[in-house]
Amino acid sequence: MAENGKANAETKTYREALREGMVHEMENDESVVLMGEDIGVYGGTHLITDGLYDQYGPKRVMDTPISEGGFTGAAIGMAMLGMRPVVEMMTWNFSFLASDQIIQNAAKVRYFSGGQVKVPLVIRGPNGGGVQLSAQHTHSLENMYGHFPGLKVVSPVTPNDAKGMMITAIRDDNPVIFLEAGALYGTKGEVGEGDNAVEFGKARIAREGTDVTLIAYGRQVNLCLRAADALEEDGVKAEVIDLRSIRPFDEDALVESVKKTHRAVAVQEQWRWFGVASEVAAIIQDRAFDYLDAPVIRVSGAEVPAPYARNLEIEAFPSEKQVANAARRVMYMEEK
């Protein structure tokens, strides 16, 4: 569960780390190509691929038509024939238009072929909210894609993990759903140089603690870290677990932490029903029930389409106060 080593690390943005991970693999493997809307000449809506068109040319950094089903299907075919496409969804909400290709083809071809046909495909882009893009551009789709065998689903929060998990994703012979967060693109952190690949299915202890376990992934990890700061003022030492990987899932990390703290709060940005936090609670119930001193509490987004107005958007997503109060409830303390 320890964070990947960062020898000779430099401070970089999440955006720069993603680009560095892709460039690392493009330099090492000519079969790695990038595809997506406006990723070439324009450099990408979020500037993740800025400069790569000039560096690698149109055959390796391909501007696609506005047709998610079409270019995703083409990328699946390319992957089946030995290439390693990295497809950008301008926002993961647009993947609804490609979901038939992703779920019915990418996720199943290797199984259908008895392992003879690999699908080394990465589909990446911003997932979730926090950047005022309203209801049709603010879905959190980790539960949707995490449901289907054959897909791997990851959601890094630190720049170091963004780079390291991108390297791992491109090398994987299975389709990888790579969930970023637009609100994280400008955040900074230390990033290891060279090949700092991060293994899938291994959670990260973002903060050590002994009294309660806060479990999250993606940008909600940072929310939990701030809540842990607030709890420390009450004398509560919260442990924060960054899942990083939704499928495969590090069950052991949850169990070992709860055995130590005896209390857990699962945090997700998505709506409460049928979410990742529910799975976290079920795993703890199955494997660590006898260690619990309180029920597992879930903190989730409000059951409404994401509002555009900033003040309403803030209210629609989990807050530091909600997480801290959930921890106080499992500690049988007075809420603030």
Q: Specify if 112 maps to a domain.
A: yes
Give the global pTM: 0.94
Catalytic residue flag (residue 193):
no
Q: Specify if 309 maps to a domain.
A: yes
Check whether residue 326 and residue 180 sit in a common domain: no
pLDDT tens column, 29-52: 999 999 999 999 999 999 999 999
On the question of pLDDT at 236 being above 60, the answer is yes
Check whether residue 214 and residue 307 sit in a common domain: yes
CA 172, CA 169: separation in Å to the nearest integer? 5
Single residue among 131, 165, 191 that ends a domain in this structure: 191
Q: Specify if 254 maps to a domain.
A: yes
CATH of residue 232's domain is 3.40.50.920
Q: Tell me what the pLDDT averaged over the chain comes to.
A: 95
CATH of residue 114's domain is 3.40.50.970
pLDDT tens column, 264-286: 999 999 999 999 999 999 999 99
On the question of pLDDT at 166 being above 70, the answer is yes
Residue that wins the pLDDT comparison between 335 and 160: 160
Choose the catalytic residue: 24, 137, 139, 262: 137
Choose the catalytic residue: 16, 20, 25, 68: 68
Alpha-carbon torsion angle 187, 192, 194, 199, nearest 10: -90
Number of domains in the chain: 2
Check whether residue 186 and residue 39 sit in a common domain: yes
Burial of 256 (0-12, 13-18, 19+ CB in 10 A): middle
Please, which pLDDT band fits residue 1 given cuts at 50, 70 and 90?
very low
Q: What is the domain range of residue 71?
A: 11-191
Please, which pLDDT band fits residue 63 given cuts at 50, 70 and 90?
very high
Q: Specify if 198 maps to a domain.
A: no
Catalytic residue flag (residue 24):
no
Check whether residue 160 and residue 295 sit in a common domain: no
Collapsing DSSP states into helix, strand and coil, what is residue 270? strand
Check whether residue 238 and residue 176 sit in a common domain: no
**What pLDDT score was predicted for residue 135?**
87
**What pLDDT score was predicted for residue 4?**
53
Q: Specify if 3 maps to a domain.
A: no
